Structure formats: C-alpha cells, structure tokens
Structure 1
Amino acid sequence: MSNCKMFRRSRFLAFVLFVICFTSIGANAKEVIELKATDQDMTPILREVLENISDLEVKIVFEKGTYRFNPDYATEKYCFITNHNNGLKRIIFPMEGFKSIEIEGNGSEFIFHGQILPFQFKACKNVSVKNLSIDWDMPFTFQGEVMECNSDEEWRDIKPFTDGFSWKLRNGRLEFPNIDGFNYSEMGSTLAFDVKEQRIVHGAFDVSSAPRWIEKREGGILRFHEKLNHYPPVGSILHSKGAKEENRYAPAFHVISSNNTLIENVVVHSALGMGFLFERSENAILKKCGIYLPEGSNRVVTTIADATHFCNCKGDILVEDCRFENMLDDGTNVHGTYVEVDKVIDNKIVRVALKHGQQMGFEFAGKDDVIWFIHKPSVQKASENTVASVSIVNDQYINLTFKNALPENLSPGDLLENKTWNPTFTMRGCTIRDHRARNVVLKTPLKTVIENNNFSSMMSSILFRGESYYWFESGAVEDVVIRNNHFEYCAYSGSEHAVMYITPRLGEGFNQQECYDRNIRFENNTITNFDNRIVWADRVDGLVIKGNKITKTNDAKALFPDAPLFDFANCRNVQVIDNDYDGNQKKAIAADEATKKSLIVEKNKGF
C-alpha cells in the first residue's frame, strides 16, 4: 500500500509539482520525492524540499530535463575537503546522516553557476546516484590561442576565447573567471594544448604564470609580458586555471564518512576541483561514469583536478567501464595519509600533525583504528597499536591516546599511518586519456588489480609514489597486478617519466636505499609508444615484468632517446621474462649493483 500527498511551493513556481510518496518496505517507510523540470533556479526549490524530508530512507527522482542551480540560496557550511581548499562552501545537495539516499536523474542535465559544491554525502549508510550529467554554464578557467611568441623580448600574444568564457582586462592585469565578483590572484597553472587533438602538446611543461603586465593589442589580442623557460607553440591553446591556493574550490561529488556508494552512468563535464572524491568511506563503485568534454565544446579542460580520488578509504573500491578525459590531474589516486609525530606526551598519548595545507582538518583516525608506527631512518612499519580515543587540538594537530604503551623509541619526525583505512582497489574496462599528469596513482597495501583498460598519459601512466613529505600520502603497495591493458602514447611531458614509474619520495632523514613497494606484477600488457622508457623502478622488492608486447612507433618525436627500456635502482627480486619488443633502442636494461644481485632477465625477444 502507498500513501501519496501533493503540495505546491507557491513561493517559487506554482506550476512545479512535487510528489512525495511513502512506500511501505517491511516495517520501514521510504520517502520518494519526484521533481519536475523548470527553467527557473532550482536551488531554492530543492532546498525547501530537502529541509522538509522526514525520513532517513529517501529517493529523489528527477523528471528528465535540464535543471539550473545558482549559489545564492544554497546551503552554506564550513567544509574540510581533502586535497581541496577548506572554507565556506555553497552546497546544492547537502545529504547527511541518511540510512539510504538514492538520486535518480533519468538522463537529466544539471547546470551549475558560480562557486558551488554540487553533491556532498556525509555519514550516509547507502548512497546511489544514477543517470545524470553535470556541467557549469561558465568554467572558472581562461583559454586563448597562441598567436606569436618572442622569447628575446619576453612576451607572448594570445587571442582569448570569449564564447563561453569570462574575463576582464583591468590596469594591465587579467581578471578571470570574473564570475560573481570572484577572480584569481594570478594566471597560475598554465598549459598549452594541441588544437586538433584537444590534449596537452607534445613535450609540454607545467608553467606557473604571473605576467608582469598585459596589454591590449589590435584584433582582440592580449600581449602577456613574462619571461618563461618554455614558451608555448604558436597555434596551440593556452589554458590557465588560477593560483594553486585558490583553484580547488570543491569536487563535483564529495563522499565523506559514508558506506556503500554506487555512482552509475554519471558524467561530469566540468568541476571546480575533482570529479569524484571519497574520503574515509567504505565500499564504493563507479560504473559507466565519465569525465569528458561536452560534444562540440570549445573547451580543452573538464575537471580542475583528479577525475577520481580515494583518500583513507576501506572495503572494496571498483571503477569499471568509465571514461576519463581532459582533467588537469590524475585519472585516479588511491592513498592513505601519513601524519608526523609532533610530541610524545606520555607513554600512551602522542600529538601528531597533518602536514600538507590541503589536509588540514582531515580525520586521520578514530577510536579502535589500528595505527602503524614508522621510525626514522627506516620506512618499514615497525609496530602497531590501537586507538583508544581522539582529541582534536585544531585543524592541524591531533592528540591520539592508545590502548597500549607507545614504542619507547617514538620521536618527533616519525610517521604514523592508519592500517584500518586501506581499501582493495580494482579498475577495469576504463579509458583514461588526453589529460595532465598520470592515469593511475596507487598507494594501498591491499589487493590492487588494474586490468583491461586503455591508457594514454602526459606523465607516467602508472605511478607508485608514497610520500613522507610534501603531500604526505601513504603508502607502500604489497599486492598489485597490472594486466591486459593497452598503453598508447604515454609519458609525453617535457619532464622524464615512464609507462610505469615506481618512485617513493621520502623526506630528509629516511633511508633512500631501503625497499618501499613490494609485489608488483606487470603482465600481458600491450604497449605502443614513441619513446623508450617502459618501466622505471626504484626501491621495489618483487617486481615481475612478464609477457608484455612492446612496439616503438615513429608517430611522435622521442623526448628521451637515450633512456633504457627498463631502469632499476635499489631493487630486489626483479624478473623481466617473456616480453616481446619491436623497435630500436640504445639500451634495454639499466640496473645498479644492488638490483643485479637478484635480477632475472630471460626469454625476451627483441632485446
């Protein structure tokens, strides 16, 4: 049986009808909200509906159509968002504390304006979002065609895009995005894109741009007076996203402290940060999702940062049959967080510090979490202990009380890592290409499988990089299989990378020769690439490179023609077996003395 009641929101649109249905499911009731399309601002309408929800199990159904959301009447909250800028955020869907929340888009298009966090799911038990797309009416970026460059006189002429972009020249300074009174303090992160391919130009470098002054020229051209180490090619599209401290407002989807999330058939065409961000959440599936440009768009960028990002999650994570393109950072990054010992207060209490500016306020640990202790100079997990209680000092410092005595040798500068919050991770059937940075960044010690994907990357396609400084992202992998993937046109950045790059970044005081990552299998992949470096590995124990078919092409200029195919340093138990190489190279394998002691190279063809 069902009991439906109708009501009108006359304050907004008399013709917009909302139907709330209460459907009996055993002893529980699920509240169903049906929303009809309108040409008006949907934010206040949706807000009133959400404020009148009376059930912890809710389904929101959108009639197929286009919905526009402005920030004026959005819910405002101060948010700590990892790898983004903390602060007051305008949230359209502030979904918190639901036992079950479903959003069905029915193929609808959601268009956002201004500084908005579209979806936030906090402390929800079951989350489902299906069948919708997200875009912005005006991106928070600047694009222009490179007309001429003069490195001697230190200027470049740019013809800015005006259709679909917002900017203003005032007192020799470019103000953008010029939306609702907001502008970046400088041009900031800037990259050149190939017009035909709509991807970053071959051999490009990241540039942090801050012109001395900008002048208006004839024909709508702007002359940027600035000395650069690398000037963009004439005819390319130069794209800027603003200053680093300002250009990550919020992801399109922020899932925090939630369980059992399914996002299916959801496409993000633009976002003011990452596409899908999960932090301290358990079990997540992204299926048939996309990050890519709208058809016919003159843009070259989708999300400002990663397509997907998983920070201190646990359970099982699956990314399947997805398409990620034109982001300004990685396709995915799966990692934990290192905190640094600030002070040992007594034999059971330690004060730790979050170290990166975009980690402030992050929930590192909770009661009953198991914590690993890492003592300099070793990078190994020396011991573990269980958290009894947590006391937040402020957004940077945390006091952790443990059930058992702390290690006697625990000292300031040592690291703590959360053992409890690590996920298994599977990516299959995905295409990731035409974006800045890496396709996949892996830093979880649990089972990881990357299979049957199509990859093309500006930097390294697969990156392993636990970091004990700067980002302080843990941790060392222990069980990874990368198989049956197709790698094509990888590592075309001006900086040197490889198809697969294993390179821990450990701070001062740590042993720089000790093995960090373990048990990585790179098997039965097809690699078609213009340059030499295939695998570049440092400090890994147990690396198998087997059954891969590698073809060197001539479709792009080799950037590092003297590099070896396989390069190993400080490694143990490396096997290079049964690989097939077609092409020319100066050196197949480079290995230091530590690696040579247990290196096996056999049954390979072509080298």
Structure 2
Amino acid sequence: MNKITVIIAIIALSVNYSMAKTSDSIIVKSVEGDMAPIVRKILEEADTEDIHLIFEKGVYKFLPDYAVGKYLEITNHGNGYKRIIFNFDKFRTVTIEGNGAEFIFHGQAMPFLFVGCESINVSNLVIDWDIPFTFLGEVLAINKEEGWRDIKPFKDGFSWQLKNGQIEFPNVDGFNYNYLGSTLAFDPVEKRPVHGAWDIHSKPRWVEKLPDGNLRFHEPLKHYPPVGSLLSSKGDREHDRYAPAFDFKTSSNINLDGIVVHHALGMGFLFERSENIQMNNCGIFLRKGTNRVISTTADATHFCNCKGSILLENCRFENMLDDGTNVHGTYVVIDKIIDNKTLLVKLMHFEQRGFNFAEPGDEVWFIKQPSPERQETNVVSKVKTINDEFIEISFDSPMPQDLKSGDILENKTWNPEFTMRGCTIRNHRARNVVLKTPLKTVIENNIFSSMMASILFRGETFFWFESGAVNDVLIQNNTFEYCTYSGAEHSILYITPRLGKTFDESALYDRNIRFINNTIHNFGNRIVNADRVEGLTIKNNKIIKSFSAKELYPNRPLIQLTNCQNTLIEGNSYEGDCETAIKTDEFSKATLTSKRNKGFK
C-alpha cells in the first residue's frame, strides 16, 4: 500500500498537525504548542487493537490540561486522579518508535500508562520536564546553636515562591507541596549525595528573606548539611510521588530500548503484575549541562508482583531519589478467617492500597507466625475486593487448620526470574539493587556506587510489606566503587530481613546467595553484613581499601554473620588495614568454612 498523507485540522483546538498513515503505522510530527490533545485524539480514534506510532525527531511539549483523566491506584505512589498523556488501555499491541524525539512534560502529568497489553515495544525516546518538582539551593551558612541555615536558592529553571514565611514549590499550575519534606545534600562538583549524608525531613518553622535575596530557614536539624553543598527538597511524603514516567499494568512481552528519562514525578519505570520484560540501553540520568541534581523523585525501575523473565542490560541509572531497581512481591495480612476456604486479608502499606494481590488461578503461600517459612499452598478460586484496603479471598481446597489472624500470604505465581547485566548505577540516594524474588536471579558485570547498601535483601513485614525470601542468587564480576557513603551504617552486600514482632527474628530466611569474583574499591571495611542466610558463598572477591574518603564507621569487620548457616568464605583477597576480617555469632560459626583468603586477619 502506498503511503497516504492526511492533513487533519482540529478546529476545536485551533491546532493543525500532519499525520502520515501506512497500513500499519501512524507518523506523528511535532507542532508548536500542546501535543497532548493531538495524541489523545489519535488514540481515541484508532480503530485497531494493534497501534504503531512513529514520531519524527523533534521536541514535543505536553500539558496536562486536555489529557485523559482517571482515578488510578499506583503501587508505591500516591493513588488519585491522574492526567495521562499516552493512555494505552484498549490496545493488544503497542509499538512506539521515538527516533530520538524529546517529550517535554509540564505540571502534574503522567506520561505513559499501559494496561492489559500483550506486546509493547518502545524505543529511542527522551523524557523530561520543563520545570522540575524539586527545590534546590546552595548552603551558605549554618548556625546549630540558633537553629538556622542560609540558602541561596536556584532560580534558573526552578519555580518557587516565599509566601507567609514558607517556601512553596514547584508553584506550577497552582500546585505546591505542603512543606519541603524529603531533603538531601548533594556535592556540587560530583552531583551526588555528600559523603556522610543523612535524609532530612524538613518542615521549617519559618523562612526569612534576607536583604541580599538569600533565604534563612529557621529549623533545628539533627544533621546539618555542609556549607557549600546543594540542598534539594522534593516535598511532603503524601504527595511527592505523583506518577511514574512509564507505568505497565497487567501487561506482557515488554521491550524497551534506548529510552532516557531526565526527570519524572515518581519512578522512571514501574511494572505492576506484568510479565516478560526487557530493558536495553535505557537510562535515568541528568541532562548534560543542567543545574539540577535530581532525575526521578523515586526509583529508576520497580517490579511489583511480576513474573516470567526480566532483563535489564546496558542501562544507566543516576541521580534518582531512591533505588536503582527493586524487585519484590507483596505480603498481605490475614485480618479474619471467614470459613475453612475463605479469609479476609488486608493491604498494609498506604501505597499498596488498591493493589491487585491475587486473581483466580493464582497459587498462594501461607506463612504462619512465628515462622517466616513459606509453608502450605492453595489455589485462589475467587477474589472479592471489599475496598482499597481489604480483600476477600476464597480457595479451591480447605486452608490449614492452624491458620490465624496476623499470619501472612504471599503470591507464589507472580514472581520473576531477574537478570541485570552491564548496567551502571550511581550518584543517587538509597540502594543500587533491592532483591526479593525466590526465582533465579543474576547480577553480573555491572558498575555500582551506592549511598546506602549497594545490594540489599530485605523481605519484610514491618513497614512496606514487600515479599519475599530469595532462594537462588548469583552476584558475579561486578565492580563496586565508593559505596555505603550514607551517614547511617550500611554494607555493600546487606542481607537483613525485617519481620514484625510476631515472627521469629532468628529463623533462617534467605538462601543460596553467591557473591563471587567481584572487585571492590571502598573507603570503609563493611563489605558483607548477613543475617539469617542459609548457603551464603563469598568467593574469589578482590577487596581494596581506598583512602580517598573519610571512613565513616571504622573498626568494622569485612564480613559479619548473624544467625547464618552453611557459609563459605573462600579465595578472597584484601588490601587494607582491617583488624577483623570475619565476625560471627556462635550459631553462624558452627557451620562456617573459611579458607584460602589472603590478607584476612
């Protein structure tokens, strides 16, 4: 079929755009003004389940005013009414060729939503905001005795106002955060959190404008930022995660290639109950030459109750305000047992509200306190959502007779195999990688630099209620350089279940974690801190202590084991001045094998 060029005039919007159609694609060109109504019209009028959009290279601007609006429940974000620019909720397959196009968003907008798609291919796009949803300023002076700090606020590219003695930002389309909220100090040269940085919850008593135009924040702090650092705030916790740049719900066969996100009002890429995902050559990082220090205001990537195979390869994640990636399931708590086949469960965290925990046909584990072990399973036959907090679940066969309120459930069906290969993650708050899937996990040939733990294992029933225990993890051939520089103490490999008080805090939890052939250059000695692990292997790693930064927690062991079983520490080498290489409790020591380690004291 020959290409037919169709010129469509949208009279009501006083906008013209050209759209070239082929038998299976729509070519979209950039025009001046808001592109949101144009995109909305294309998607609404598409009479196919298989849509293919090709964007010509250029700059496309999107406003929320005429975007599709709907109430959304988004895990690890704030639920609410969202303005969605690209709403893919009626298509079987979606293909988007970006050709290097830059999509610039304004205000409270959700760029991409995919719901129930069977195949998704998105490539070569750049995502950014015209005005970031952060406040940034240089620390000029502090006074701990009087409880104030002087800040030179950034104005170029940022939006804020001083009103009634308080900073209001981002001051966009009438929206402002209630207070400064989550605040962190960044190194102005390296553009990463400062050495020894602490998270600050900032809510000044009042903010004073000084004669020179700078601002004095009257607020006693437990940890003051250093003079000369850049102090960045992202707002109050109830509102500071509007939406991810990309949200994939109940979708499958997702391929993302060459997508770069410079800013987002939440996570970069969120995958909820989706399967078979590949991300290649994607990035979360600052635009070159920018005066910003924040890319996404939450995780770069996040996988919640996904299944199938997940691959992240040759990606670059920098300057987020949370983890590089988090792979986890969800624990729900039994609120009431209705009969021998039916129970009422509760979603525990406020950012889990409305989450689709299970559907008929899913297999579920029962976890009975005080043991954290996955025990009996059953198949879901019926799900009745009472509201966004409580769900009634019925099963094919009778449940365990000793089940009781307070026990927890974990979805066995929705867990993925996960591979991260050839990625670089650095210059951001929190952890590089957080892992909580029982299936095969491989982390290899990556470059990591972390503020907190570099790789964290923490299934927990304490706050987030993110499941669960791992069974098969290989971490090999990675480079760790300048890690764990948070003010709070962490370790490069940190295995630390956090279960509620009703669970046995000494019972084994994670299993079969192999930390092999990695190279570590770090200012501190805290390399591995493991709690409640069976079958931990630490082998053939090269550890070199660097003296380029201040050691924050001296006199710590290289490896610390608590309540661990069958640990192997073999063939590692260490160059530095650590007094204690391995520290264990009696339980861990009984089944520990340590041999052929060089430089260990």
1-structure distance, mates of 2:29, 2:171:
32
Aligned ranges 1:452-601 → 2 under 5 Å: 452-601=445-594
CA distance in 1, matches of 2:231, 2:570: 43
Q: Deviations over 1:15-35 (max 9, x none)?
A: 52112222xxxxxxx4x1111
5+ unaligned residues in a row in structure 2: which ranges? none
- The one-letter amino acid of 2:506's match is Q
Query: Once the two structures are superposed, what CA deviation does each residue of 1:234-288 show, in whole Å capped at 9, x if it has no partner?
Result: 0000000001111000000000100000110000000000000001001101100
1:6 maps to 6
Asked if residue 80 in structure 1 is aligned to residue 69 in structure 2, the reply is no
Find out whether 1:105 has 2:116 as its counterpart.
no
| 1:586 positional shift | 1.9
> What secondary structure is seen at the aligned counterpart in 2 of 1:337?
strand
Q: How does 1:14-413 map to 2 (within 5 A)?
A: 15-22=16-23, 30=24, 32-413=25-406
CA distance in 1, matches of 2:340, 2:19: 59
The alpha carbon displacement at 1:7 in A equals 4.0
Give the Å deviation of 1:562: 1.3
8 Å CA contact retained: 2:421, 2:443? yes
Q: Deviations for 1:508-554, whole angstroms, at most 9, x for unmatched residues?
A: 11000000000000000000000010000000000000000000010
- TM-score, normalised relative to structure 1: 0.98
CA distance in 1, matches of 2:569, 2:434: 22
Instruction: Compute the displacement of 1:203 (Å).
Output: 0.4
Q: Which moved more, 1:13-22 or 1:319-328?
A: 13-22
Which deviates more from structure 2 when the two are superposed, residues 4-13 or residues 69-78?
4-13
| Alpha-carbon separation, structure 2, partners of 1:520 and 1:477 | 8
The alpha-carbon deviation at position 74 of structure 1 amounts to 0.2
Shift of 1:393: 0.4
Shift in Å, 1:97: 3.3
Query: What SS does the aligned partner of 2:303 have?
Result: strand
* Alpha-carbon contact 1:581-1:605 (below 8 Å) kept: yes
Which residue of the partner structure matches residue 25 of structure 1? none
Residue 13 (structure 1) shift:
5.9
Shift of 1:50: 1.0
Alpha-carbon offset, residue 3 of structure 1: 7.2
For 1:431, which of 414, 419, 424 is the aligned residue? 424
Whether contact under 8 Å (2:5, 2:19) holds in the other structure is no
**8 Å CA contact 1:200, 1:435 repeated in 2:** yes
| Aligned length, in residue pairs | 599
Aligned counterpart for 1:441 among listed residues 434, 441, 466: 434
Specify the SS of the correspondent of 1:159.
strand
Alignment CA distance shift 1:195-1:377 (3 Å): same
1:176-222 deviation per Cα after TM superposition (whole angstroms, max 9, x unaligned) = 11111011111100010000100000001001000001100022210
Q: Measure, in 2, the Cα distance between the counterparts of 1:181 and 1:326.
A: 27
For residues 104-140 of structure 1, give each alpha carbon's deviation from its aligned partner in whole angstroms, at most 9, with x where no partner exists: 1110000000001100000000001100100000001
Three-state SS of the structure 1 residue aligned to 2:136 is strand
Give the 3-state SS of the residue equivalent to 1:156 in structure 2.
strand
CA distance in 2, matches of 1:296, 1:310: 31
Q: Would you say 1:415 and 2:408 are equivalent positions?
A: yes
Deviation at residue 505 of structure 1 after TM alignment:
0.3
SS in 1 for 2:256: strand
**SS of match in other structure, 1:336:** strand
CA distance in 1, matches of 2:447, 2:552: 22
**How far apart, CA to CA, are the structure 2 residues paired with 1:96 and 1:212?**
45
- When structure 1 is superposed on structure 2, of 43-52 and 64-73 the one drifting more is 43-52
- Distance in 1 (CA, whole Å) between partners of 2:233 and 2:280 is 31
Counterparts of 2:268 and 2:32 in 1: how far apart (Å)? 26
The answer to whether the 8 Å contact 1:547/1:578 transfers is yes
The C-alpha deviation readout for 1:545-591, integer Å capped at 9, x for no partner, is 00000000100000011111000000001111000101111211110
Native 8 Å contact 1:8 1:14 kept in 2: no
* 1:315-370 residue CA offsets vs partner (Å, 9 max, x unmatched): 00000000000000000000000000010001101110000000000000001000
After superposition, the C-alpha distances for 1:440-461 in whole angstroms (9 at most, x for unaligned) are 0000000000000000000000
| Counterpart-to-counterpart distance in 1, 2:580 and 2:462 | 33
1:247, 1:356 → 2: CA distance? Answer: 16
Q: C-alpha deviations, 1:149-176, integer Å up to 9, x for none?
A: 0000000000000000000001111111
Residue deviations 1:435-478 (CA, integer Å, cap 9, x gap): 00000000000000000000000000000000112100000000
Q: Check conservation: 2:147, 2:221, Cα contact below 8 A.
A: yes
What SS class does the counterpart of residue 43 from structure 2 fall into?
A: helix
Q: Deviations over 1:364-393 (max 9, x none)?
A: 000100000000000001100000011110
Q: Write the distance in 2 (CA, Å) between the matches of 1:461 and 1:428.
A: 15
Task: Determine if contact 2:98/2:123 at 8 Å carries over to the other structure.
Answer: yes
**SS, match of residue 220 in structure 1:** coil
In the alignment, the residues of structure 1 paired with residue 197 and residue 463 of structure 2 have an alpha-carbon distance, to the nearest angstrom, of 24
Amino acid at match of 1:18: M
SS of residue in 1 equivalent to 2:61: strand
How far, CA to CA, are the matches of 2:484 and 2:500 in structure 1? Answer: 25
Q: CA deviation at 1:98?
A: 1.6
Q: Distance between the aligned counterparts of 1:36 and 1:512, measured in 2?
A: 59
Q: Percent identity?
A: 59
In the aligned structure 2, how far is the partner of 1:173 from the partner of 1:261?
44
Q: Aligned partners of 2:535, 2:76: CA distance in 1, in Å? A: 31
Secondary structure class of the residue paired with 1:260? strand
Letter in 2 for 1:272: L
Q: Which runs of 5+ in 1 are unaligned?
A: 23-29
For the aligned residues, what is the CA RMSD? 0.9
